[in-house]
């Protein structure tokens, strides 16, 4: 049986339709959700991502500001801008596009963002809340993966989930999200990484496999079991075009469901950023 394709474009579109209604309701109450995106330097991929975020804001009726800074911007200048945005009542969410130029301290910059406006979910306060199971802004990519699973009727409760990759952006928060004793979670989670002796031994046990290693076709068909659900977070540019961290052609023959690249997790990341921004605006209404 051919694997079901988990369509991130379709699902993200459904989420944005729901968010558009929420934005309209907020506007009737005098609140326009606002997102500020800060980008430093001319990294081509970052420029594309920021453009996609601006387009999504416009489509949903979210107010957006883009602050494009030169690659020579100092740490103090960047921190100063973040502090100004913290005080700006028109801005409910702040996103500093990563990676930053090497001379800048990412950790200090992210920590400078008001946790209530940290719609990327990277502030230590929000990371800590996630770990202990309190309400917090969830990092957009792992949150998007969870939404893909929920909206594709993939039951995570009690399942063996294997995550390949332990980055602070995807792997670690993904594990924390799926460990929670909550709807769409409550899984038994294994995290594999460069120190794992036999990754294939773990991936073959997975009911749900999430791969985020940044290496093209790192997981192949012989590394998975029949019926596995596969979420491919990776995007790698090759001569043949964009490919994921999973060898789609061989893995789809054994998987029950799988995300494509592109068109799988990518659209969900931006949808979750929009969701977090709307949530931040709704909190201001309730204050």
Q: Which of 53, 117, 172, 217 is catalytic?
A: 53
Query: Is 131 within 8 Å of 173 (Cβ atoms)?
Result: no
Sign of CA dihedral 129, 133, 139, 140: negative
Backbone angle region of 12, left / alpha / beta, with phi > 0 → left and psi within -120 to 50 → alpha: alpha
207 is catalytic: no
97 among known catalytic residues: yes
Residue among 97, 118, 146, 232 flagged as catalytic: 97
- The rounded distance, in Å, linking the Cα atoms of 13 and 267 is 9
Long-range contacts of 216-221 (CB under 8 A, 24+ apart): 216/243, 216/244, 216/245, 217/243, 217/244, 217/245, 217/246, 217/247, 218/164, 218/245, 218/246, 219/164, 219/245, 219/246, 219/247, 219/251, 220/247, 220/250, 220/251, 221/247, 221/250, 221/251, 221/253, 221/254
Percent helix, strand, coil in the chain, to 5, is 45, 15, 40
**Pick the catalytic residue: 120, 232, 245, 247?**
120
Residues that are catalytic: 53, 97, 120
């Amino acid at each position: 049986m051919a694997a079901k394709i988990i369509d991130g474009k379709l699902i993200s579109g459904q989420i944005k339709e729901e968010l558009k209604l929420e934005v309209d309701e907020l506007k009737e109450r005098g609140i326009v959700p606002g997102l500020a995106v800060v980008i430093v330097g001319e990294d081509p991929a970052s420029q594309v991502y920021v453009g996609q975020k601006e387009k999504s804001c416009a489509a949903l009726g979210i107010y957006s500001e883009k602050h494009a800074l030169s690659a020579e911007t100092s740490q103090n200048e960047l921190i100063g801008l973040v502090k100004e945005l913290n005080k700006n009542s028109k801005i409910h969410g702040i996103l500093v596009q990563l990676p930053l130029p090497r001379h800048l301290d990412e950790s200090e910059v992210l920590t400078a963002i008001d946790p209530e406006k940290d719609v990327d979910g990277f502030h230590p306060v929000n990371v800590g809340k996630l770990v202990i199971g309190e309400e917090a802004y969830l990092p957009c990519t792992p949150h998007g993966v969870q939404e893909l699973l929920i909206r594709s009727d993939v039951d995570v409760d009690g399942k063996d989930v294997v995550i390949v990759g332990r980055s602070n952006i995807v792997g670690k928060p993904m594990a924390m999200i799926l460990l929670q004793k909550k709807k769409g979670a409550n899984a038994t989670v294994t995290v594999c990484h460069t120190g794992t002796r036999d990754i294939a031994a773990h991936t073959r046990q997975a009911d749900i496999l999430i791969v985020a290693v940044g290496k093209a076709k790192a997981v192949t068909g012989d590394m998975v079991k029949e019926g596995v659900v596969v979420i491919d977070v990776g995007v790698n540019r090759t001569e043949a075009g964009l490919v994921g961290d999973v060898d789609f052609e061989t893995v789809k023959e054994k998987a029950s469901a799988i995300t494509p690249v592109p068109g799988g997790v990518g659209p969900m990341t931006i949808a979750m950023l929009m969701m977090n921004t709307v949530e931040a605006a709704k909190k201001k209404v309730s204050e």
